[in-house]
C-alpha cells in the first residue's frame, strides 16, 4: 500500500492553514503533490496583494520543499522534483471590489481559483447564508466570462443554490465546488443538494469533498467508514470522475481567526456560522484526518471500505489534475 500511495497524484482541493515549516514539511513528507491554498476571505484589493507578497516570502524560505504552481504542468514538474505545488485561491470576490480588470491582474499574480461569494451576498451573487438568494448578477456573469477566458476556476463553495445553478449554466467551462459534501450525508447549510450535484456533473463540474467537521455526519466524531459510504453513494449519483478531496483543513490558527472568518468587518454582533451551540472555538477534526499528510489514511481507507484502487486514485488527486488541465 505504501508504494501504491507514493506513486499517486495527491491533491487537496482546499486548505487554509497558518503556514509554517512544520505544516509544509508534513505535506512534503506525506507525499502530497499539490494543495489549493486560500489566501483571503474578506480582504480588499490592497490587503490581498499583501497576502500574495507574504506567500512569496514563504516560497523563498521553503524553496527546497514547495513551489508556486500557475499551470497543471507546474504541478507535474513539482511532483517530478519532489516538491509540493501551491495553487492560489480566494474564498471571496471581495478583492476585485467592483473592478473586472482586477481579475486578470490577480490571475497574472498566480490566482487560479476564486469563489463568487463567502456566505453573504456579493456584487456577483448570493451566499448560502442569505435567506433570499439573488442568483448570479450581471456583474457575476461578466466575471465568470472573464475567468473562463483566463483559465481561472469558478468556485461555488459558500454560494446559494440559485447562484450555483445560474453559474453552472452560464459558465462556458466546468465550475467547481472546491470544499463541501452532499446534503444527503449531512444536512449542513454549506453542503450541496442532489439537484445542484446532478447539474454540476452534467456540465463536467467538480466537487471536492470536505473534512471540516460542520460538513460531516456526526461532526468531529464522523467515522471514516461513513465517509466512504457517502463517497460510494455519490459515485452512483454523479460518477467518479467529478469527485476529489477539498479538506478545508484549517490548522494552527487561534480561535480569534475563526471569529474573523465568520464575521469579517460586516457584522458588529457575533455570527456563529454553522455552530448550533454558539461556539467560537475550532471544532475538533475527525481522528483519521487531523493534518494534510492524513490524505494517505484516507486513500487507504477508501480501498479498505470497498472503493476500487482506480477510483480511490482518481478521488485522491488524479481527478483534480485532469480538471485543472482543462483550465490552466
Res 274: pLDDT:
87
Q: Domain 2-325 belongs to what topology?
A: TIM Barrel (3.20.20)
Question: 10 Å Cβ neighbour count for 305?
Answer: 16
User: Three-state SS for 155?
Assistant: strand
The 3-class secondary structure across 57-73, one letter per residue, is HHHHHCCCCEEECCCHH
Helix axes 161-170, 138-150, angle to 10 degrees: 50
Percentage of residues in the chain with pLDDT exceeding 70?
Answer: 99
Res 181: pLDDT:
98
What does the alpha-carbon distance between residue 126 and residue 132 come to, in Å, rounded to a whole number?
A: 8
DSSP state of 210: P
Res 7: pLDDT:
85
Beta bridge partners of 34: 11, 85
DSSP state of 183: T
Reading the block at residue 307, the C-alpha cell is 472503493
Domain residue limits, the chain = 2-325
Res 98: pLDDT:
95
For the chain, list residues with pLDDT below 70: 1-3
Q: State which H helix or E strand residue 57 sits in.
A: helix 45-61
What does the alpha-carbon distance between residue 314 and residue 242 come to, in Å, rounded to a whole number?
A: 9
Res 5: pLDDT:
76
What does the alpha-carbon distance between residue 298 and residue 227 come to, in Å, rounded to a whole number?
A: 9
Res 154: pLDDT:
99
DSSP state of 127: B
Amino acid at each position: 500500500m505504501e508504494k501504491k500511495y507514493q506513486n499517486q497524484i495527491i491533491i487537496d482541493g482546499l486548505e487554509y492553514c497558518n503556514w509554517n515549516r512544520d505544516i509544509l514539511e508534513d505535506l512534503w513528507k506525506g507525499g502530497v503533490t499539490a494543495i489549493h491554498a486560500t489566501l483571503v476571505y474578506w480582504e480588499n484589493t490592497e490587503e490581498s496583494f499583501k497576502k500574495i507578497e507574504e506567500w512569496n516570502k514563504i516560497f523563498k524560505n521553503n524553496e527546497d520543499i514547495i513551489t508556486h504552481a500557475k499551470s497543471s504542468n507546474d504541478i507535474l514538474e513539482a511532483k517530478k522534483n519532489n516538491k509540493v505545488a501551491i495553487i492560489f485561491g480566494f474564498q471571496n470576490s471581495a478583492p476585485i471590489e467592483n473592478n473586472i480588470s482586477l481579475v486578470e491582474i490577480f490571475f497574472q499574480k498566480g490566482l487560479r481559483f476564486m469563489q463568487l461569494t463567502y456566505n453573504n451576498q456579493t456584487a456577483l451573487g448570493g451566499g448560502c447564508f442569505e435567506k433570499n438568494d439573488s442568483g448570479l448578477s450581471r456583474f457575476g456573469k461578466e466575471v465568470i466570462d472573464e475567468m473562463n477566458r483566463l483559465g481561472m476556476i469558478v468556485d461555488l463553495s459558500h454560494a446559494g443554490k440559485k447562484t450555483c445553478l445560474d453559474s453552472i449554466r452560464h459558465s462556458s467551462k466546468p465550475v467547481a465546488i472546491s470544499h463541501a459534501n452532499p446534503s444527503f450525508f449531512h444536512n449542513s447549510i454549506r453542503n450541496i443538494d442532489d439537484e445542484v450535484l446532478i447539474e454540476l456533473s452534467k456540465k463536467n463540474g467538480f466537487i471536492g469533498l470536505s473534512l471540516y467537521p460542520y460538513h460531516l455526519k456526526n461532526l468531529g466524531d464522523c467515522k471514516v467508514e461513513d465517509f466512504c459510504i457517502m463517497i460510494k453513494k455519490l459515485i452512483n449519483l454523479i460518477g467518479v470522475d467529478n469527485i476529489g478531496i477539498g479538506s478545508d483543513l484549517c490548522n494552527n490558527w487561534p480561535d480569534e481567526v475563526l471569529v474573523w472568518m465568520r464575521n469579517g468587518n460586516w457584522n458588529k454582533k457575533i455570527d456563529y456560522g454553522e455552530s448550533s451551540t454558539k461556539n467560537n472555538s475550532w471544532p475538533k477534526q475527525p481522528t483519521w484526518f487531523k493534518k494534510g499528510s492524513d490524505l494517505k489514511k484516507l486513500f487507504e481507507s477508501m480501498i479498505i471500505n470497498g472503493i476500487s484502487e482506480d477510483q480511490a486514485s482518481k478521488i485522491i488527486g488524479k481527478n483534480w489534475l485532469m480538471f485543472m488541465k482543462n483550465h490552466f
